[in-house]
């Protein structure tokens, strides 16, 4: 992957998988814009990444079209767009307890967000550019309390296939992570996070939970491989097999 002097936008890059992707792109010589909803997390990412000449951070809610338009007006031309954003607060509930507003937040961040990034970002991309989104293993191995997330992950993968056709020759792909040790698990499992992740690690063929760098590797492949589009790249430690 040659990212020297490439311009990359990473939405959700202030923590977890997105932050790992930003680190990888910066190390490869790219100019990176990290975007997200939390000014506090964006500032923490700026400190962590330590690349003042090659990094900018922008606060944006990609579920709001006007903010997405403003984002691209500010950035200008790009080579690659990546989104790992997902607002799943309150979404892991059994149906009787599920609040529609919580489900709608997932849709806004993980489906309409990528749709708007494609709508307004594609015209800014170089002809050899790419868009890479993140779905998840829940689309293939749903569990109780996970109906909303499973459905949105599956919908995003369908969107990616359609966009790969409509936006060609731009490449559009999606990484489907398994269970990855990121801050999002504090919202999902709370105090049971460590025990929950350990139990899954013991089930997986690879014998461990994923790390953000594992997903960053997959994102880097999809950004850099010019013959891959409309593809779901599974990076889940064999979760679909067990």
Residues noted as catalytic: 135
Residue entry with tokens 């936006």: 167
> Which residues are 171's β-sheet partners?
130
Q: Distance (Å, rounded) from C-alpha 209 to C-alpha 127?
A: 36
Residue whose C-alpha is closest to residue 172's, from 110, 111, 232:
232
Give how far the C-alpha of residue 63 lies from the chain's centroid of Cα atoms, to the nearest Å.
14
Q: Distance (Å, rounded) from C-alpha 185 to C-alpha 177?
A: 14
For residue 152, give both structure tokens: 């949105």
Inter-residue contact 79 to 85 (CB < 8 Å):
no
Inter-residue contact 91 to 100 (CB < 8 Å):
no
51 backbone dihedrals φ, ψ, rounded to 5°:
-140, 65
């Amino acid at each position: 992957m040659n990212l020297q002097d490439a311009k990359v936008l990473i939405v959700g890059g202030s923590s977890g998988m997105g932050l790992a992707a930003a680190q990888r792109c910066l190390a490869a010589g790219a100019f990176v814009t990290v975007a997200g909803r939390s000014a506090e997390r964006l500032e923490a990412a700026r400190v962590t990444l330590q690349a003042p000449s090659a990094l900018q951070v922008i606060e944006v809610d990609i579920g709001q079209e006007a903010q997405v338009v403003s984002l691209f007006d500010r950035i200008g031309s790009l080579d690659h767009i990546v989104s790992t954003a997902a607002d799943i607060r309150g979404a892991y509930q059994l149906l009787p307890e599920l609040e529609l507003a919580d489900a709608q937040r997932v849709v806004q961040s993980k489906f309409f967000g990528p749709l708007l990034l494609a709508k307004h970002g594609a015209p800014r991309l170089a002809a050899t550019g790419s868009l890479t989104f993140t779905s998840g293993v829940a689309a293939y191995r749903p569990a109780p309390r996970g109906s909303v997330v499973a459905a949105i992950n599956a919908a995003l993968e369908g969107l990616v296939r359609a966009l790969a056709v409509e936006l060609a020759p731009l490449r559009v792909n999606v990484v489907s992570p398994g269970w990855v040790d990121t801050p999002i698990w504090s919202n999902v499992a709370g105090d049971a996070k460590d025990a929950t992740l350990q139990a899954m690690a013991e089930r997986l063929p690879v014998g461990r939970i994923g790390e953000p760098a594992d997903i960053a590797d997959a994102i880097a492949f999809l950004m850099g491989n010019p013959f891959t589009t409309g593809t779901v790249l599974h990076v889940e430690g064999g979760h679909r097999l067990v």
